[in-house]
């Protein structure tokens, strides 16, 4: 049986992950409108990953006979100054999600909920990758974004990203 606080945080994370998917769909929408289909694709794949993260939390709660309560998903911001602002918002959001995962880990550790800690281990590693990816996008945009030919090549590179479902055993 899950501790009440851990349960609450895990349930809340479902909403946060769905919000992340909405946010990345908005980013994809922004780049699509700018004619940067590769960037749009990259964030579409990112949105798919976030949706699956929400489902993993959902399934974990169900597998532990814990009730799931779905909440409304906030509308993401859509007033971005430029593409770099979108990328920086993505990094800030990933830093926020990392803090949320860390909070759940701390709560689970406090009550010696080792099963939940083991489940969260994958997300801790995933957040490290997410932050690295967001930083890499910013670095590439800083290097190539002002040169149209380089931006074209970066856009082409990002267009090759394909979705791969997470392989986490619950």
CA distance 68 to 106: 21
pLDDT at 97: 98
Q: How high is the pLDDT of residue 32?
A: 97
In this prediction, residue 51 carries a pLDDT of 97
Q: Going from the N-terminus, what domains does the chain have, and what CATH number goes with each?
A: 4-158 (1.20.1260.10)
Of 93, 103, 89, nearest to 138 (Cα)? 89
State how far the Cα of 115 lies from the Cα of 27, in Å rounded to an integer: 35
pTM of the predicted structure, to 2 decimals: 0.93
Per-residue DSSP letter, 77: P
Tens of each residue's pLDDT in the chain, 170 residues: 899 999 999 999 999 999 999 999 999 999 999 999 999 999 999 999 999 999 999 999 999 999 999 999 999 988 999 999 999 999 999 999 999 999 999 999 999 999 999 999 999 999 999 999 999 999 999 999 889 999 999 999 999 999 888 776 56
Contacts of 4 (CB under 8 A, 6+ apart): none
In the prediction, which pLDDT does 170 show?
A: 60
Tokens of 2: 């899950």
Count H helices and E strands in the chain, helices first: 5, 0
């Amino acid at each position: 049986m899950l501790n009440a606080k851990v349960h609450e945080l895990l349930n809340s994370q479902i909403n946060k992950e769905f919000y992340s998917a909405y946010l990345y769909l908005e980013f994809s929408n922004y780049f699509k409108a700018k004619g940067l289909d590769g960037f749009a694709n990259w964030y579409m794949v990112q949105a798919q990953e976030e949706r699956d993260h929400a489902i993993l939390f959902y399934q974990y709660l169900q597998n532990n006979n814990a009730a799931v309560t779905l909440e409304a998903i906030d509308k993401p911001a859509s007033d971005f100054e430029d593409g770099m602002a979108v990328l920086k918002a993505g990094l800030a959001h990933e830093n926020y999600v990392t803090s949320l995962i860390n909070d759940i880990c701390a709560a689970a550790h406090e009550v010696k909920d080792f099963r939940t800690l083991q489940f969260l281990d994958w997300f801790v590693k995933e957040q490290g990758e997410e932050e690295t990816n967001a930083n890499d996008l910013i670095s590439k945009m800083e290097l190539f974004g002002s040169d149209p030919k380089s931006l074209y090549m970066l856009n082409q590179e990002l267009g090759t990203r394909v979705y791969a479902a997470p392989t986490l055993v619950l």
